[in-house]
Structure 1
Amino acid sequence: MKAALFTTFLSITATALFADPLPSWDDGDSKSRIVEFVSTVTDPNHSDYVTPAERIAVFDNDGTLWAEQPVYFQLIFAMDRLEELAKTDPAILNSPILEAAAKGDVQTIAEGGHEALIEVINASHAGASVDDFQESVADWLQSARHPDTGLPYYQMTYQPMVELLRYLRDEGFSTYIVSGGGLHFMRVFAEDAYGIPPEQVLGTYADATYEAIDGKPTIVKSPGIAFIDDKQGKPINIERTIGRRPILAAGNSDGDFAMLEWTTAGEGPRLGMLIHHTDSEREWAYDRESPIGKLVDGLDKGPDMGWVIVDMAEDWKRVYTGAN
């Protein structure tokens, strides 16, 4: 009996030791390079060993950890919220841009560019306390569905990337989100979706005020953007907030280029990774000409800088956590 139990124990232990940490990744160059990098920096007997305190990994969110088409999901939330707010206060729709947003007219918003986007964000976000705003985000995530897939937005996280985040943490890494998305928006779902707690989420944030509302100390979101966590802003925010240069950075667009460039320019072992959206059947195929997630410099310069260019169609067995 003891011999049988010991054999069973060895079998279970071997299975645990040799289990694939990235089962939704195809066995190709991308997966091999990721596993090799992690194995190297976590091996205390290797010359490229990195202490746990320095194992910092940073990830963009939109297009890297979850989908971003046909527009950023936070913009869809903002338009839905604006429509709800207008039901009780129609006067809030005081411009053609806001009228279009409340109708879900993405094309008009896109044509209005950055200024139109900021106008919609201000009208739908400002004036709410952080607590009330985040409660509205949580409610929206439970009820809203993507117009193309029909999935809840929280099920359109990428299964291979969720596995990668878990794998890194199992190997002693600290994982952070560094995204152009709204800080308070992402903090609502990041821990449940990715295992990343709110304090490890870096993003764009608005101005705010500290007020006593009905005697209760409250943080209230104000109009205006205090910091945009995109492009060169990403490494600046990482240095300012985390205080360590990461050894791994992942993104999907030229908005992430500076973050990957700064990360991989450091001394010692480094890994830069770009998710290339090549799968028109299970997701969307886009890069150089896309207004959302445009990827030019990363494709042209990334390979020569040693970055892993993940081909979604070829490297991922599965895309979303919720389907396919």
Structure 2
Amino acid sequence: MGFISGRYAPYLLMFLGLATSWVTDAASPLPSWRDDGAKARIVEFVKQVTREGSDSFVPPGERIAVFDNDGTLWSEKPMYFQMLYTADQVKRLFPEHPEWKTQQPFASILNGNLLSLLAQGSPGLEKMLTATHAGMSTDEFQRSVAHWIASAKNPVTGMFYRKMVFQPMLELLVYLRANGFKTYIVSGGGVDFLRVFSSSLYGIPPEQVIGSRLKARYKSRDGHPAIVKTDELAFLTDKQGKPLAINEFIGRRPVFAAGNSDGDLQMLEWTTSAAGPRFGMLIHHTDASREWAYDKKSDVGRLDKALKAAKPNGWLVVDMANDWRQVYPPEKSRGLTQGLVFPQPPAYQD
């Protein structure tokens, strides 16, 4: 199974107990969505494009649905989870790089100053990524991410990152696939990072994940072939880069696109501007009690231009507080381990 094959696949499959939490009643799809408003529009669109003989029918091979990840499929506060993974790697590598104590963005990480780190924007993130990822083989990187996602917790909520996926979106992915859609992730996050857990968290295989990436080289290490990351950015899958990446790697224009920020604006524009039935959707984070409430003033997941574009383009804006019955999967469906064997697993502490 590609990037999660071999010894990592079994314990990654435990994360959400997907065999139980993804089961939906065919007579009542999307049970974590409130019955009117957003849910009704989604269900009606799916009925239209799957009704054979109708003018709105879309053949199964053309039913492509693309999803952003951060803020769309899982939370993204206090900052993108891959940034927090990278920050943890900076701390781990600090003994080998004492000079980082006075160099940015590393000093902000070592001092625990997340606001200062966020203020450094993309240049700071790129510097972090190249310093911690370059020189690693893809196998080494997969092992590192797999162990981190298995045990790391969000500094604000105290929850495992792997449990901060959105239950309503998991149900939507399953509902679309049950109706002949092929689901993809199109994220500004690192493609190799996402591919480690995309199957176990979302049911999306690694070959259906598109993301940003560093250039890599094919090398021999200790007599064995390896793909090794360099310190050069190959492609940033954000804003205009999203439709470009979709065109290059999928080769079809989607009929369904979902995002949550201005970084998804061009993906939704490109998806919904073509002829025929199209569906654009934005997740609006409005739920301060169960998650976070933010939009145009946020340093992470800013939603301003895309929100203004939603009404004239006919996009659905999902109000998290009002449209979702629950945000995260129920506790009883998380981390279901019965019957699984874990070869050299990390230690889990719920």
TM exceeds 0.5?
yes
CA distance 1:209–1:94, shift in 2 (3 Å): farther
For each residue in 1:28-72, what CA deviation from the matched residue of structure 2 results, as whole angstroms up to 9, or x when unmatched?
A: 211001000001101113211100100000000000000001100
1:5-44 to 2 correspondences below 5 Å: 18-44=26-52
- Equivalent residue in structure 2 for 1:301, among 295, 309, 318: 309
Task: Identify which of structures 1 and 2 has the higher relative contact order when contacts are C-alpha pairs closer than 8 Å and 6+ apart.
Answer: 2
| Structure 1 residue 303: Cα displacement | 1.3
Q: How does 1:71-90 map to 2 (within 5 A)?
A: 71-90=79-98
Equivalent position of 2:55 in the other structure = 47
Shift of 1:298: 1.8
Post-superposition shift, 1:108? 2.0
Superposed, 1:277-292 pairs within 5 Å as: 277-292=285-300
CA distance in 1, matches of 2:302, 2:175: 28
Is the Cα–Cα contact under 8 Å of residues 190 and 196 in structure 1 kept in the other structure?
yes
Shift of 1:323: 5.1
- Are residue 104 (structure 1) and residue 99 (structure 2) matched? no
Q: Which amino acid aligns with 2:289?
A: E
CA distance in 2, matches of 1:251, 1:156: 17
1:234 corresponds to 2:242: yes
| Rg larger for | 1
Return the alpha-carbon distance in structure 1 between the equivalents of residues 81 and 329 of structure 2: 16
**1:202 corresponds to which residue?**
210
Output the amino acid matched with 1:256.
Answer: D
Deviation string for 1:100-142 (max 9, x for gaps)?
2234321221222221111111111111111101110110011
- Runs of 4+ aligned residues of structure 1 deviating over 6 Å after TM superposition are none
Higher helix share: 1
Over the matched positions of the two proteins, sequence identity in percent amounts to 52
Offset, 1:178: 0.2
Q: Give the counterpart letter for 1:179 in structure 2.
A: S
Number of aligned residue pairs: give it: 309
Contact 1:57–1:174 (CA under 8 A) maintained in structure 2: yes
**Cα RMSD between the aligned structures?**
1.6
SS at match of 1:219: strand
Match of 2:75 in 1: 67
Aligned 8 A contact 1:207 1:226 in 2? yes
Measure how far apart 1:290 and its partner are: 0.7
Secondary structure class of the residue paired with 1:295: coil
Q: Which residue of 1 aligns with 2:279?
A: 271
DSSP-derived class of the 1:96 partner:
coil
What aligned pairs does 1:151-162 form with structure 2 within 5 A after superposition? Answer: 151-162=159-170
Q: Any unmatched runs of 5+ in structure 1?
A: 1-15
What's the TM-score once normalised by structure 2's chain length? 0.85
Partner of 2:224: 216
- Structure-2 separation of matches of 1:235 and 1:130: 26
Structure 1, 209-218 or 241-250: larger mean CA deviation:
209-218
Q: Any idea what SS the aligned residue of 2:293 has?
A: coil
Distance, in Å, in 2 between the alignment partners of 1:321 and 1:131 is 30
Q: Secondary structure at the match of 1:302?
A: helix
Distance 2:277 2:91 in 1: 49
1:282 is paired with a residue whose SS is: coil
Report if the CA contact (8 A) 1:151-1:322 is conserved.
Answer: no
